[in-house]
C-alpha cells in the first residue's frame, strides 16, 4: 500500500434528515483504501449503515478523497478485557483505569457530570476535556470531534484477533484503530468510550500507558447514548489536537514480534 495513492472514504448516516438538520445519528465509518479498493470500501460502509440497530437511515453520505499527507503506521495498542458483573462495577473499573492514566478525580467527575447532563442520543464525535480543569475544550457542540482517516487491513486485523482470542468483528477493529490513533498523540492522557448502539454494552478506556482496556459492561442494553471522551493536556491551540484527530492519516499494522499483550 505504501507506494500507492491512498484514499479516505467516509460515511455518515442519519434518520429524520441529515445530522445538520436535526436527524438522529445512525452510523459513521472510515476506510483508507487504494484506488482499486474504493468500491469494496463503499460497500463495506453501506452495509454497516443500511441495517443498523439504531434504525434504518433516510440520509446517507459517502465521500472519498485522496489523502495527501504521509501515512503514519502504528502497532495496535495491547488489549485486555475486563469482565464485570454490573454497570456499577464497570464504571468503577473505568474510573480506576482513568486514574491510572493520570486523570485527576475531579476531572473524571466533570466528565461523568457532562454525560449525565447530556440529553443527546446522537453525539457523533468525541468530547475533548482539559485533563487539569475538567473543562470541555473542543467547542464543537453536539457534533463533537470525529476521529477520522484511519484504518487497519482486514487480514492483518484478523491474524491479530486470532492471536488475542478476540472476536474478528468490524466494531472491535474500528474501535482499536481509533483508540490507537488517539493514544499515540503525545499530549493525550486517556480516552473513555462506549457505543451508541443499543445492542452493544462493552466499552473501553485506552491510553499508551494502559493499552486498550475493554470493559464488558458500561451501559444497559437498549440505551442509545454513547460517549467518547478524550482527556487532553492544556495546550495554547486546541486546533492542533483537532487537526491530528481529524486529518492525520493512520494505518495500523501488527507484526507477531511486537505482540505485547498482557491478558
Ligand atoms: C462504538 O461502537 O462506537 C464503540 C465500540 C467500543 C467497544 C468495542 C469493543 O472493544 O468491544
Ligand atoms: Mg454506533
Q: Where are the domains of the chain?
A: 7-68, 73-260
Given a cut of 70, is residue 143 above it in pLDDT?
yes
For residue 26, the CA-to-ligand 2 centroid distance in Å is: 7
pLDDT of residue 263: 38
Q: Please tell me the residue having the least CA distance from ligand 1 atom 2.
A: 195
CA dihedral (212, 215, 219, 222) in degrees, to 10, reads 90
Q: How many CB atoms lie within 10 A of CB 262?
A: 7
The grid coordinates listed for 154 are 482486514
236 falls in which pLDDT band (50, 70, 90)? confident
pLDDT of residue 121: 55
DSSP 8-state secondary structure symbol assigned to residue 141: G
Question: First and final CA of the chain: distance in angstroms?
Answer: 31
Given a cut of 60, is residue 173 above it in pLDDT?
yes
Ligand showing the shortest atom-to-Cα distance for residue 27:
2
Q: Please tell me the residue having the least CA distance from ligand 1 atom 7.
A: 203
8 Å CB contact between 227 and 212:
no
The three-point CA angle 231-236-237 to 5° equals 80
8 Å CB contact between 192 and 108:
no
For residue 207, the CA-to-ligand 2 centroid distance in Å is: 21
Taking each helix axis from N to C terminus, what angle separates 154-164 and 170-183, rounded to the nearest 10 degrees? 90
For residue 37, the CA-to-ligand 2 centroid distance in Å is: 24
For residue 185, the CA-to-ligand 2 centroid distance in Å is: 24
How far apart (Å, rounded) are the C-alpha atoms in residues 94 and 258?
26
Partner residues linked to 176 by β-bridges: none
8 Å CB contact between 109 and 118:
no
Give the mean model confidence (pLDDT) for residues 92-105: 98
The grid coordinates listed for 120 are 443527546
Record the pTM.
0.95
For residue 256, the CA-to-ligand 2 centroid distance in Å is: 30
- Ligand 1 atom closest to the Cα of residue 200 is 2
CA distances from 13 to 171, 225, 242, 246, 258 (A): 16, 16, 22, 18, 36
- Ligand 1 atom closest to the Cα of residue 176 is 10
Q: Do you know the residue count of the chain?
A: 263
The chain-wide mean pLDDT, for the chain, equals: 93
Give the mean model confidence (pLDDT) for residues 250-257: 93
Q: Please tell me the residue having the least CA distance from ligand 1 atom 4.
A: 195
How far apart (Å, rounded) are the C-alpha atoms in residues 239 and 258?
32
Given a cut of 90, is residue 124 above it in pLDDT?
no
Ligand 1 cavity residues, CB under 6 Å? 171-172, 175, 193, 195, 197, 200, 202-204, 214, 226
pLDDT of residue 118: 76
Q: Which of 44-53, 64-73, 85-94, 123-132 has the lowest mean pLDDT?
A: 123-132
149 falls in which pLDDT band (50, 70, 90)? very high
Amino acid at each position: 500500500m505504501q507506494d500507492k495513492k491512498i484514499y479516505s472514504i467516509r460515511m455518515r448516516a442519519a434518520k429524520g434528515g441529515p445530522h445538520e438538520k436535526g436527524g438522529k445519528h445512525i452510523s459513521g465509518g472510515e476506510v483508507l483504501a487504494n484506488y482499486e479498493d474504493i468500491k469494496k470500501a463503499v460497500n463495506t460502509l453501506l452495509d454497516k449503515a443500511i441495517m443498523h440497530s439504531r434504525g434504518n437511515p433516510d440520509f446517507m453520505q459517502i465521500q472519498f478523497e485522496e489523502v495527501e499527507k504521509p501515512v503514519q503506521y502504528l502497532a495496535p495498542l495491547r488489549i485486555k478485557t475486563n469482565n464485570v458483573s454490573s454497570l456499577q462495577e464497570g464504571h468503577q473499573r473505568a474510573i480506576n483505569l482513568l486514574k491510572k492514566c493520570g486523570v485527576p478525580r475531579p476531572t473524571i467527575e466533570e466528565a461523568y457530570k457532562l454525560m449525565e447532563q447530556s440529553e443527546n442520543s446522537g453525539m457523533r464525535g468525541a468530547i475533548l476535556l482539559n485533563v487539569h480543569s475538567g473543562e470541555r475544550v473542543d467547542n464543537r457542540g453536539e457534533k463533537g470531534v470525529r476521529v477520522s482517516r484511519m484504518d487497519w487491513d482486514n487480514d492483518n486485523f484478523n491474524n491479530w484477533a486470532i492471536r488475542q482470542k478476540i472476536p474478528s468483528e468490524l466494531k472491535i477493529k474500528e474501535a482499536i484503530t481509533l483508540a490507537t490513533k488517539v493514544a499515540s498523540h503525545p499530549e493525550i492522557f486517556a480516552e473513555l468510550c462506549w457505543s451508541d448502539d443499543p445492542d452493544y454494552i462493552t466499552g473501553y478506556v485506552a491510553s499508551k500507558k494502559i493499552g486498550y482496556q475493554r470493559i464488558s459492561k458500561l451501559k444497559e442494553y437498549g440505551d442509545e447514548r454513547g460517549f467518547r471522551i478524550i482527556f487532553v493536556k492544556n495546550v495554547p491551540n486546541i486546533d492542533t489536537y483537532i487537526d491530528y484527530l481529524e486529518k492525520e492519516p493512520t494505518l495500523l499494522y501488527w507484526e507477531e514480534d511486537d505482540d505485547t499483550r498482557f491478558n
